[in-house]
């Protein structure tokens, strides 16, 4: 049996599918003071509020125009919905990083993710999206540069 809380979260996922991408519809599901925390991104953690709430949806739609979220496990605990999922899509858009742009390769991605939705009065108060960035970067072919990291952390003599 699906609860109203679960139905609202499933609606949020539907609105962010590549063949739908209804950014305003997604934003409208949030409370006036709602927040979307993207955890694990290129810059670590970013929080989005107000007009920014749809920024990640737009970014993901450009990066993976066929983006799909495969929900594996959905757990509803009152006004909290915890979901284990995979973000899937084809890398067809540019990936901007702090040091330049990674050009699209057409790679198929299947990124493990954990989402936590906190609702109040029929609206999303907080959405925490934990993306498996290490897996995502590996699937993009972006491997860590351990040599540079070690050189940068070497003590001065």
70-104 residues labelled b (16+ CB within 10 A) or e (exposed): eeeeeebeeeebebebbbbbbbebebeeeeeebeb
Q: Looking at per-residue confidence, does 37 or 3 come out higher?
A: 37
In order of their start, the domains of the chain are 4-153 (3.10.450.50)
**What percent of the chain has pLDDT above 70?**
94
Please report which confidence band the pLDDT of residue 1 belongs to, taking 50, 70 and 90 as the band edges.
low
Which segments of the chain are extended strands (E)? 30-41, 44-49, 68-77, 80-90, 95-97, 100-102, 108-120, 123-131
Please report which confidence band the pLDDT of residue 58 belongs to, taking 50, 70 and 90 as the band edges.
very high
Residue 30 has pLDDT above 80, yes or no: yes
Tell me, what's the pLDDT at 96? 86
Tell me, what's the pLDDT at 146? 81
CA distance 150 to 157: 15
Per-residue pLDDT tens digits for 97-156: 888 899 999 999 999 999 999 999 999 999 999 999 889 989 988 887 788 778 888 777
CA distance 75 to 145: 38
Tell me, what's the pLDDT at 97? 81
Strand partners for 50: none
């Amino acid at each position: 049996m699906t609860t109203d809380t679960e139905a609202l979260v499933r609606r949020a996922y539907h609105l962010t599918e590549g063949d739908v991408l209804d950014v305003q519809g997604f934003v409208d599901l949030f409370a006036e003071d709602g927040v979307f925390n993207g955890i694990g991104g290129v810059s670590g953690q970013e929080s989005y509020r107000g007009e920014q709430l749809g920024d990640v949806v737009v970014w993901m739609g450009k990066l993976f125009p066929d983006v799909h979220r495969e929900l594996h496990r959905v757990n509803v605990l009152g006004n909290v919905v915890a979901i284990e999922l995979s973000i899937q899509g084809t890398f067809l858009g540019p990936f901007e990083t702090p040091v330049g742009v990674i050009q699209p390769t057409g790679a198929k991605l299947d990124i493990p993710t954990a989402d936590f939705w906190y609702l109040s009065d029929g609206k999303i108060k907080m959405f925490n999206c934990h993306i498996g960035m290490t897996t995502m970067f590996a699937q993009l072919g972006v491997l860590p540069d351990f040599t540079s990291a070690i050189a940068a952390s070497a003590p001065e003599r």
